[in-house]
């Protein structure tokens, strides 16, 4: 019975102790401030960040910094001129040859743009001149003679010059003189030849435009959520002696050691070698590790992470603060050196 009572008392004492540890840490007040800046140079912001602030007559130390990028969708009207060779002076042929919509990117802007049919201009491209003969005939009736004196030797028809090449005469009427039939009137067919020229179009060139609106997301500002935690002297509750009396009357001293697991070891380089100067508990990548609270150190440190912490924050950035300087480091190994 006494043993059971002792066990119950021990468990109750343990819970009271653990509760006291967490109560001490939760008593600290956290102050959150937000800053939205248009300057996208993060390094400049961290340089200007105060490591501690005085508020409500209390000293508050920098705890963490979270970043949020504020983006805006920008639009840009675009006109893209294109040329294509086609075989015929036909808009439908062009539309069947080229894409009616294309995806386009320029200066970070992207989007789909469509062909503007009203912008299409088709012109002759490769052209050569061809010559060929043309023929013309002109008939004459009841001419008094078969003399060419009154017959035009050249004719101009629709811009083409025709030359007389073959006159053909026919007797239209005759007169009997002294018993002989003498021609008195003639009909004639005058045959002309000319040379005509024309352009033969090999192909056509089509000029046209694509039109549309392109968009892009642009970071216009960054909002920093900065948290400060009240500086308080922590109570040392790491070791708690529990005294219990056994059934035999002997006194059993049970020392229960409860401590927060340290997952980061900090070494400082001094006098030619590294020396362990502090062990810390890092909850997540957003916590700023303050190196300035370690007294009598140089600005050269070596950091060792536990296996669990390394897996948790691998390829993430964490910040180290050394007085008025903030140094961001991307985690790629469990052990690394920094100079701040």
Tens of pLDDT, residue by residue over 261-301, are 588 899 999 888 999 988 888 876 656 888 888 877 888 99
Q: How far apart are CA 146 and CA 186, in angstroms?
A: 6
Q: How far apart are CA 146 and CA 184, in angstroms?
A: 10
When the pLDDT of each residue in the chain is averaged and rounded to a whole number, the result is 82
The answer, yes or no, to whether residue 80 has pLDDT greater than 70, is: yes
The answer, yes or no, to whether residue 189 has pLDDT greater than 90, is: yes
Q: How far apart are CA 293 and CA 278, in angstroms?
A: 10
Give pLDDT, residue 55.
82
For the ranges 4-18, 196-210, 238-252, 319-333, the lowest mean pLDDT is seen at 238-252
Burial of 318 (0-12, 13-18, 19+ CB in 10 A): buried
Give pLDDT, residue 235.
46
For the ranges 4-18, 57-71, 194-208, the lowest mean pLDDT is seen at 4-18
Question: Domain limits of the chain?
Answer: 2-71+220-257, 128-201, 264-339
The answer, yes or no, to whether residue 37 has pLDDT greater than 50, is: yes
The mean pLDDT of 85-108, rounded to a whole number, is 92
Confidence of residue 251 (pLDDT cuts 50, 70, 90): very low
Confidence of residue 162 (pLDDT cuts 50, 70, 90): very high
24 or 171: whose pLDDT is higher? 171
Q: How far apart are CA 64 and CA 321, in angstroms?
A: 11
Give pLDDT, residue 267.
93
State percent of the chain over pLDDT 70.
Answer: 82
The answer, yes or no, to whether residue 126 has pLDDT greater than 90, is: yes
For the ranges 69-73, 192-196, 246-250, 305-309, the lowest mean pLDDT is seen at 246-250
Give pLDDT, residue 232.
67
The answer, yes or no, to whether residue 180 has pLDDT greater than 80, is: yes
Let me know how long the chain is. Answer: 340
How much is the pTM? 0.43
- The phi and psi torsions of 97 (rounded to 5 degrees) equal -90, -40
Give pLDDT, residue 78.
94
The answer, yes or no, to whether residue 227 has pLDDT greater than 80, is: yes
For the ranges 1-5, 48-52, 139-143, 239-243, the lowest mean pLDDT is seen at 239-243
The answer, yes or no, to whether residue 61 has pLDDT greater than 60, is: yes
Are the CB atoms for 224 and 62 separated by under 8 Å? no
Three-class secondary structure assignment of the chain: CHHHHHHHHHHHHHHHHHHHHHHHHHCCCEEEEEEEECCCCHHHHHHHCCCEEEECCEEEEEEEEEEEEEEEEEEEEEEEEEEEEECCCCHHHHHHHCCCEEEEEECCEEEEEEEEEEEEEEEECCEEEEEEEEEEEEEEEEECCCCHHHCCCEEEECCEEEEEEEEEEEEEEEEEECCEEEEEEEEEEEEEEEEEEEEEECCEEEEEEEEEEEEEEEEEEEEEEEEEEECCCCCCCCEEEEEEECCCCCEEEEEEECCCCCCEEEEEEECCEEEEEEEECCCCCCEEEECCCCCCCCCEEEEEECHHHHHHHCCCEEEEEECCEEEEEECCCCEEEEEC
């Amino acid at each position: 019975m006494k043993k059971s009572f002792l066990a119950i008392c021990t468990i109750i004492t343990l819970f009271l102790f653990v509760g006291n540890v967490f109560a001490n840490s939760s008593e600290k007040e956290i102050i959150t401030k937000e800053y939205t800046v248009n300057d996208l140079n993060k390094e400049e912001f961290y340089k200007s960040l105060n490591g501690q602030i005085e508020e409500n007559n209390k000293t508050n130390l920098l705890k963490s910094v979270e970043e949020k990028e504020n983006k805006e969708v920008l639009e840009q009207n675009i006109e893209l001129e294109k040329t294509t060779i086609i075989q015929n002076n036909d808009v439908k042929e062009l539309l069947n040859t080229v894409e009616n919509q294309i995806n386009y990117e320029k200066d970070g802007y992207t989007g789909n743009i469509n062909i503007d049919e009203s912008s299409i201009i088709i012109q002759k491209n490769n052209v050569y001149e061809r010559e060929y003969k043309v023929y013309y005939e002109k008939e004459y009736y009841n001419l008094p003679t078969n003399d060419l004196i009154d017959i035009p030797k050249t004719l101009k028809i629709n811009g083409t010059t025709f030359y007389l090449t073959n006159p053909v005469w026919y007797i239209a009427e005759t007169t009997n003189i002294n018993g002989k039939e003498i021609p008195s009137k003639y009909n004639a067919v005058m045959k002309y030849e000319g040379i005509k020229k024309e352009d033969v179009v090999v192909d056509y060139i089509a000029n046209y435009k694509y039109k549309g609106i392109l968009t892009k997301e642009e970071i216009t500002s960054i909002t920093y959520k900065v948290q400060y935690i009240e500086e308080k002297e922590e109570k040392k509750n790491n070791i708690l002696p529990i005294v219990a009396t056994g059934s035999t009357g002997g006194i059993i001293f049970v020392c229960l050691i409860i401590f927060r697991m340290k997952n980061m070891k900090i070494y400082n380089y001094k006098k030619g070698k590294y020396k362990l100067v502090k062990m810390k508990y890092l909850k997540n990548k957003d916590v700023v590790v303050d190196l300035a609270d370690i007294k009598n150190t140089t600005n050269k440190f070596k950091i060792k992470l536990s296996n669990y912490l390394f897996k948790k924050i691998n390829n993430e950035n964490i910040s180290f603060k050394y007085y008025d300087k903030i140094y961001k480091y991307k985690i790629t190994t469990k052990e690394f050196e920094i100079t701040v």
